Amino acid sequence: MATRRVTVSVNGSRREAEVEPRLLLVHFLREHLGLTGTHVGCDTSNCSACGVLMDGKVVKSCTVLAVQADGRDILTVEGLAKGGKPHPIQKAFIEKHGIQCGFCTPGMLMSAYALLSENRHPTEEEIRRGISGNVCRCTGYAKIVESVQRAALSRTW
Amino acid sequence: MEHCALLLPPSFDYAAPQTLPEALGLLEKGGEGAKVIAGGQSLIPLLKLRLASPTILVDINRIGGLDYIRESGGFLRVGALTRMAEVEASGLLKRKYPIIHDASTVIGDPLVRNLGTVGGNISHGDPANDLPAVMLALGAEFVAMGPSGQRNVRAEEFFQDTFAVALEHNEILTEILVPVPPSRSGGSYLKFEQKVADFATAGVAVQLTLNSKDECENVGIGLTAVGPTAIKARKAEESMKGRKPTDTEAISDLARLAAEASDPASDIRGTAEYKRRLVGMLATRALKTAYGRARRGGAK
């Protein structure tokens, strides 16, 4: 099949590539751009470990075609830290031990980022709803919820 | 590419038209192998599992003017490209069409709702999708645009079989029309799912309008995931007419008739018998909520 040229803004940089229409956004990020922070957890659109922001909304990058991201803004977990300093959400996950094996963490961070971008003071229930699409098989979510609560207290953003 | 362990879609051609006529032309030219992609939240998983293998995907996401939620001419009009997250956030729907709001909070998960569309949820034809039952309960109509113009299809004629709806291969669903409910109307959609983003074990949609004596003047009931398509439970609807939603005999008739209208299959989510009982129970609870909302004038 004919390839397509796509231009995507990824973490603020303009990236261009020739891709097959069937290429999934997650593989574009991981293999074409080397951004392996975005994980493939289930491959069946269930787990959201591959969560990234597309035009400000968190989406499953395994359930979007790379060609569909043409002209869009993508933010991946690599785009959270600034100047070598972890983002307040990342710091909060470290401080509150919101990580065990770490596999789901990139997706959790992106869902938390999307939630807190729209709602800086979520209730516990709103946090639980906000991350309800993200599966963690280690912890049982309590520490993750606490991490997001801690992040919400951060004054710098 | 070396991903033998990963699920990859088969090869297909791709076009992202900017206008509806352009999209319709591509569908016409592509024939039976052409497939519309909107939110892609059902289609892309199917492609990965190779349960669908279109020759060309016509991506309608770049067509303007197909995402809106408004009332005009006696109808609620929802553009087919409206994302479920926008439905969930709509004050109008929460206030006046709570049955649609209910469904919008339980479809997929937040990430799915950011992309998944109203039109896709309806036209995919999956009996486990939530909006079909809601549309049956509301007596909705769908606008299909094709090469020779537009036609309207009633919800009850739309869902033909599993993954089969009354759209030709060269037609696109563009708008959902719901008659504006009279005052003293209310609805509720209840879905039983084992975990977030799972398919429904069963779901029941109830929409009703009360007369001045608190009797049901009109009742619409739709069932999710308990048959080859979403089901309109006609006998259960009829049984409620002229009766009060608080009448215990009426409630037990409703539960029995809704369960009888269902045709579930036994699977990992439960036996057919269990699902039929679930339908009766959900119908009873949805009726109660719909009644409370109708008494408050339709608002939450």
- Domain of B23: which CATH number? 3.30.43.10
Given B140, B159, B179, which residue is the final one in a domain?
B179
pTM: 0.95
Mutate to test the interface with B, among A27, A38, A45, A135 (most CBs of B within 10 A): A45
Cα–Cα dist B19/B116, whole Å: 20
Helices (H), B174-247: 234-240
Q: Which residues contact B232 (CB under 8 A, 6 or more apart)?
A: B136, B137, B155, B156, B220, B221, B222, B223, B261
CATH number of the A88-153 domain: 1.10.150.120
Q: Which residue has the tokens 């991903």?
A: B3
Q: What is the pLDDT of residues A78-103, one digit of tens each?
A: 999 999 999 999 999 999 999 999 99
The backbone region for A6, taken as left when phi is positive above 0, alpha when psi lies in -120 to 50, beta otherwise, is: beta
**Element spanning B94, H or E:** helix B91-96
Considering the domain boundaries, does residue B64 fall inside one?
A: no
Cα–Cα dist B53/B64, whole Å: 27
Q: Which residues of B touch A27 (CB under 8 A)?
A: 1, 3, 6
The backbone region for A23, taken as left when phi is positive above 0, alpha when psi lies in -120 to 50, beta otherwise, is: beta
Tokens of A146: 């606490």
From the list B11, B48, B111, the residue facing A59 with the nearest CB is: B111
In this structure, are B155 and B175 located in the same domain?
Answer: yes
Give the gap in angstroms from C-alpha B61 to the nearest C-alpha of chain A.
8
Tokens of B186: 């209310």
Tokens of A67: 């060609």
Whether the predicted pLDDT of B5 surpasses 70:
no
Count structural domains, chain B. Answer: 3
The residue range of the domain holding B23 is 13-59
Q: What is the pLDDT of residues B227-270, one digit of tens each?
A: 999 999 999 999 999 999 999 999 999 999 999 999 999 999 99
Whether the predicted pLDDT of B3 surpasses 60:
no
Considering the domain boundaries, does residue B272 fall inside one?
A: yes
Q: Does A139 touch chain B (CB under 8 A)?
A: no
**Element spanning B221, H or E:** strand B216-224
Considering the domain boundaries, does residue B199 fall inside one?
A: yes
In this structure, are B131 and B146 located in the same domain?
Answer: yes
From the list B12, B48, B112, the residue facing A1 with the nearest CB is: B12
Report percent pLDDT > 70 for chain A: 99
Q: Which residue has the tokens 């089901």?
A: B231
The backbone region for A156, taken as left when phi is positive above 0, alpha when psi lies in -120 to 50, beta otherwise, is: beta
Considering the domain boundaries, does residue B6 fall inside one?
A: no
In this structure, are B168 and B192 located in the same domain?
Answer: no
Q: Which residues of A touch B109 (CB under 8 A)?
A: 48, 132-133
Instruction: For domain A4-79, say whether CATH 3.10.20.30 is its number.
Output: yes
CATH number, domain at B97?
Answer: 3.30.465.10
In this structure, are B283 and B197 located in the same domain?
Answer: yes
Q: What is the pLDDT of residues B24-77, one digit of tens each?
A: 999 999 999 999 999 999 999 999 999 999 999 999 999 999 999 999 999 999
Beta strands in B90-155 (DSSP E): 141-146, 149-154
